[in-house]
Chain A
Amino acid sequence: MIELRDVSKFFDQTPAVEALTLSIPKGKFCALVGTSGCGKSTTLRMINRLLTHTRGQIELDGQSIDAYDPVLLRRRIGYVIQNTGLFPHWNVARNIGLVPRLLKWPTAQVNQRVEELMALLGLPVNEFAHKYPHQLSGGQAQRVGVARALAADPDILLMDEPFGALDPITREKLQEMLMQLQARLHKTIVFVTHDMDEALRLADKLVVMRDGRIVQQGTPLSLLQKPSDAFVDSLLGGLERGLKQASLTRVKDHMVPPGAHLAAPRVTTEQTLRQALSLMLRDQCERLTVVDPQDEPVGELSLDRLVKEAFHPKERPRDD
């Protein structure tokens, strides 16, 4: 649980963040989105006291962060940054074991934890433990960066544009990996990005910022349905919003019991509405048969109903 109440940050006289109030429930994934210079990174860096807030209160589990020693606080919070910040003179295993060693864990326990994390992030120990950061690809390096942040099993993970420097394919893979990790680990994650699609894909809670203030916050679907102003609307993709909303919605949330006559084209319950719509356009049909993973028809989807229901979709349960 992270609580920011009326938090402001001034650099000299210039405000970077103003009167920001935000609550992130335990185990939730919160994405801070906005154009560069909107104060999203500043907000993140205030949580682990890399920056000191000028006004307001920041609390972790009800305890003000001012009560902690900043160094000890940071060891309890995972931190991932864009260019990984891996130590170039340490190999992968040593980089991952950094925080446990700072916490003076016994060596055997550190080694065991490092191997555990490497397995968790799909980095074979034999292949990677002794490699140095410059021998890794961008994606591998950021996996190590995430492993390092998770090493001491912190409750909170701060991620500052972690995938911003990766190519689109690698980025998508790491997003997938992060979703799977989060489904297992239930960390409280604060994730800064300027990539709205990334935020929509990953977040439970979306916070849009501009000029140091929160413009709108809520679930990705609620923002897509009702952007508060033209800025949020354009950030969310303007005309593309409908499709983005469709890609966040599963077929099973909109299907009705199958009729007597089954349409030929089929979609599965787990596919997104966007994929279903694409199929309708491709196969020039207005009705699809919905099948379960065993390929048994369980319902049907019609363009007519989709269009009418679009403004009142059921909330999609998150990945857990």
Chain B
Amino acid sequence: MPFTDAPPTGVQAWIKGRPNGVMMVLAIVMLAALWGLDSVSVAANRIVAGSGHASWEAFGWVGVALASLPLLLVLLLAWAPTSSRLNLLLQLGAIILLLILMPVGLVVASHTLIDPQLPQARLSAGAAFWVVLFCAMLALVELRLRLALPRLWIALVMLGVALLWWLCASLWLDRLALVQEFQAREAAFWDALREHLAMVSIAVGVSIVLGIILALLIRRYRGSQRAAFALLNFFQTIPSLALFGLLLAPLAWISANVPFAANLGIQGIGYTPALLALVIYSLLPMVRNTFVALEAVSPDVLDAATGMGMYPSQRFWQVRVPLALPILLEGIRITAVQAIGLTAVAALIGAGGLGAFIFQGLGQAAMDMVLLGALPILLIALIVDSGLGALGEALRQGASDD
């Protein structure tokens, strides 16, 4: 199987029968965070700094013990030399259980720590919470590779967990600062989300079309290959903020001097420079992957296609393109994930999107508002990444089973 990213069988054989160091370290770090770091903090209102609370204060000793159980199980299973598939599946189950317990813990904490007499009081997730979340994600990736599970599978698990968290948040976690930030600007949030997604889709859509055209041109005019990639590489090295700034002046000039362009909505700040910059950044991964994808098709296969009597156009559409598709899709995935992150910066030049919450939050020193912008961006990036990854895997497997 040339196409999966699971460890080759030789590695699997080597892994077998040894303690899984990665999972052990992750479990120990999670346990240490749970016991040693603040798991939540409570603030009297939005402005004052919160005071941290250790896990036992938030969930009680029983709660901490309960949360430690799946982690201890993972530690034990990872250390035990019986490295069978069941063992790994049990570890996966323990990690998923932990992810389900986390919002429940926050609900418990909001009942034990928040004085219902103080309507302004709010709960924030603490260091332990984020560390455990981060390690749990790493553990999911590790277990997916060991078990050679399809990406789609893990994407569905993540989606299920996310939905569960959303449910907890909307039903019982009205004291969570993040939820309060959301409720205070719900309409603005959905607008920002729409803007963000619109910008990303337009930028990725345009760069797919442009990228494919450019890649085909480079293939046609081989002499341009070095120069073209040098130029695209150069664009990639300009810091994003600088590129937004650089586009400001010429676009403002065009807007002021070309009435037609101004009518189209082209101006120095806002959507136009943001989209332009996003497309410029997206071009390198798109062009490079498309080019490599088309070039990577086995010369034997192409020789056979020609030798059997296919016209060049038949060879291109029936052989080269279908075989290039998985790598091409990889390019779209990289481009999309990159654009989702970069669009956050576009808020700085007035393009809107979820980045606006991040920069407003930074300005007001309201970390929970920053999270309101950052967490959805992270989630969208993860969903798009695993979704397109799963699609690519399915395309590759279309050729393996049927």
Contact = CB atoms under 8 A, between A and B. Distances in A.
Interface of A: 48, 50, 71-76, 79, 81-89, 91, 98-99, 102, 130, 132, 134-135, 148-149, 158
Given A71-B311, A98-B308, A91 B323 contact: no
Interface in B295-311: 298, 300-301, 303-311
Contacts of B300: 81-85
Contact of B309 (A84, A86, A89, A99): A99
Contacts of B311: 71
A89 B304 CA distance: 14
Interface string B297-329: 010110111111111001000010011000000
B46 to A, nearest CB: 57
A48 B307 CA distance: 7
Interface in B365-402: 398-400, 402
Given A83-B298, A89-B323, 10 more contacts: A75-B308, A79-B304, A79-B308, A81-B307, A85-B301, A85-B303, A85-B307, A88-B323, A89-B398, A134-B399
Contacts of A83: 298, 300
Interface residues of B, number: 22
Contacts of A134: 1-2, 399-400
A87 B399 CA distance: 10
B308 A148 contact: yes
Nearest to B401: A132
15 contacts: A50-B306, A71-B310, A75-B308, A76-B309, A79-B307, A81-B300, A81-B303, A81-B304, A84-B304, A87-B304, A88-B301, A88-B323, A89-B323, A91-B402, A102-B309
Contacts of B323: 87-89
Contacts of A79: 304, 307-308
B230 to A, nearest CB: 29
A87 B319 contact: yes
Nearest to A45: B307
Contacts of A86: 301, 304
Given A88-B399, A91-B402, A50 B305 contact: no
B392 to A, nearest CB: 14
9 tightest Cβ-Cβ pairs between the two chains A and B: A85-B304, A75-B309, A74-B309, A79-B307, A85-B300, A83-B300, A89-B399, A89-B322, A85-B301
Interface of B: 1-2, 298, 300-301, 303-311, 314, 319, 322-323, 398-400, 402
Contacts of B2: 134
Given A81-B300, A132-B400, A134-B400, A87 B310 contact: no
Contacts of A158: 307
A148 B300 CA distance: 15
Contacts of A87: 301, 304-305, 319, 323
A130 B400 CA distance: 10
A311 B360 CA distance: 100
Nearest to B323: A89
Given A87-B301, A87-B305, A132 B310 contact: no
A133 to B, nearest CB: 9
A132 B402 contact: yes
Chain B CB within 10 Å — which of A87, A149, A158 has the most? A87
A99 B307 contact: no
Contacts of B402: 91, 130, 132
B393 to A, nearest CB: 15
Contacts of A132: 399-400, 402
A217 to B, nearest CB: 25
B319 A74 contact: no
Contacts of A84: 300, 304
A81 B308 CA distance: 11
Chain A CB within 10 Å — which of B306, B307, B309, B323 has the most? B309
Given A75-B309, A130-B402, A102 B303 contact: no
Contact of A50 (B301, B307, B319, B399): B307
Contact of B310 (A88, A89, A102): A102
A42 to B, nearest CB: 13
A50 B309 contact: no
A87 B398 CA distance: 13
A282 to B, nearest CB: 45
Contacts of A48: 307
Given A88-B323, A132-B400, A50 B308 contact: no
Nearest to A75: B309
A160 B15 CA distance: 43
A98 B311 CA distance: 13
A71 B311 CA distance: 6
Nearest to A151: B308
B400 A135 contact: yes
A227 B103 CA distance: 87
A305 to B, nearest CB: 49
A102 B314 contact: yes
A85 to B, nearest CB: 3
Contacts of B309: 71-76, 99, 102
A75 B308 CA distance: 6
Contacts of B298: 83, 85, 88
Nearest to A149: B308
A83 B301 CA distance: 9
Nearest to B314: A102
Nearest to A72: B309
Contacts of B308: 74-75, 79, 98-99, 102, 148-149
Contacts of B303: 50, 81, 85
A91 B401 CA distance: 10
Contacts of A148: 308
Chain B CB within 10 Å — which of A71, A86, A135 has the most? A71
Nearest to A133: B399
A249 to B, nearest CB: 37
B313 to A, nearest CB: 11
A309 to B, nearest CB: 45
Contacts of A81: 300, 303-304, 307
Nearest to A158: B307
A75 B314 CA distance: 13
Nearest to B310: A102
A48 B303 CA distance: 12
A155 to B, nearest CB: 14
Contacts of A76: 309
Nearest to B302: A85
A48 B399 CA distance: 30
